[in-house]
Amino acid sequence: MIINPYVFGVAYDPDAQAFFTASGLTGATNLNAVNQLVLDLKSYGIWTKMKAIYPIIGGTAALHKWNLKDPQDTNAAFRLVFNGGWTHSSNGALPNGTNGYAETFLTPLTSLSANSTHLSYYSRTNVNLTQIEIGCQDVNAYTIIEARTVNVSYFLVNTNTITGVADTNSAAFYIANRTASNVTNGFRNSSKIFNSTVASSALPIQSIYIGALKNPGGLAQFFSTKQCAFASIGDGLTDTDAANFYTAVQNFNTTLTRNV
Q: Does the pLDDT at position 157 exceed 70?
A: yes
Report the number of distinct structural domains present in the chain.
1
**136 within domain boundaries:** yes
**247 within domain boundaries:** yes
- Rounded Cα distance between 239 and 112, Å, is 19
Q: Does the pLDDT at position 3 exceed 50?
A: no
Within 10 angstroms of residue 90's Cβ, the number of other Cβ atoms is 16
Q: Which helix or strand (DSSP H or E) is residue 35 part of?
A: helix 28-43
Amino acid at position 253, single letter: N
**159 within domain boundaries:** yes
**DSSP codes of every residue in 95-111:** E-SSS-EEE----HHHH
Conformational region of residue 52, where left means phi above 0, alpha means psi within -120 to 50, and beta covers everything else: beta
Tens digit of each residue's pLDDT (9 = 90 or more) over 113-122: 999 999 999 9
Q: Does the pLDDT at position 2 exceed 50?
A: no
The residue segments making up the domain with residue 171 are 52-255
pLDDT attached to residue 7: 45
**45 within domain boundaries:** no
Tens digit of each residue's pLDDT (9 = 90 or more) over 91-138: 999 999 999 999 999 999 999 999 999 999 999 999 989 999 999 999
- Rounded Cα distance between 48 and 103, Å, is 23
pLDDT attached to residue 4: 46
Tell me what percent of the residues of the chain surpass a pLDDT of 70.
Answer: 96
What CATH number is attached to the domain comprising 101? Answer: 2.60.120.200
- Rounded Cα distance between 150 and 250, Å, is 26
Whole-prediction pTM value?
0.95
**240 within domain boundaries:** yes
> CB neighbours of 62 closer than 8 A, spacing ≥ 6?
none
**21 within domain boundaries:** no
**19 within domain boundaries:** no
Mean pLDDT (the chain, rounded): 94
Q: Does the pLDDT at position 89 exceed 70?
A: yes
Q: What is the DSSP letter of 7?
A: G
**157 within domain boundaries:** yes
Tens digit of each residue's pLDDT (9 = 90 or more) over 211-250: 999 999 999 999 999 999 999 999 999 999 999 999 999 9
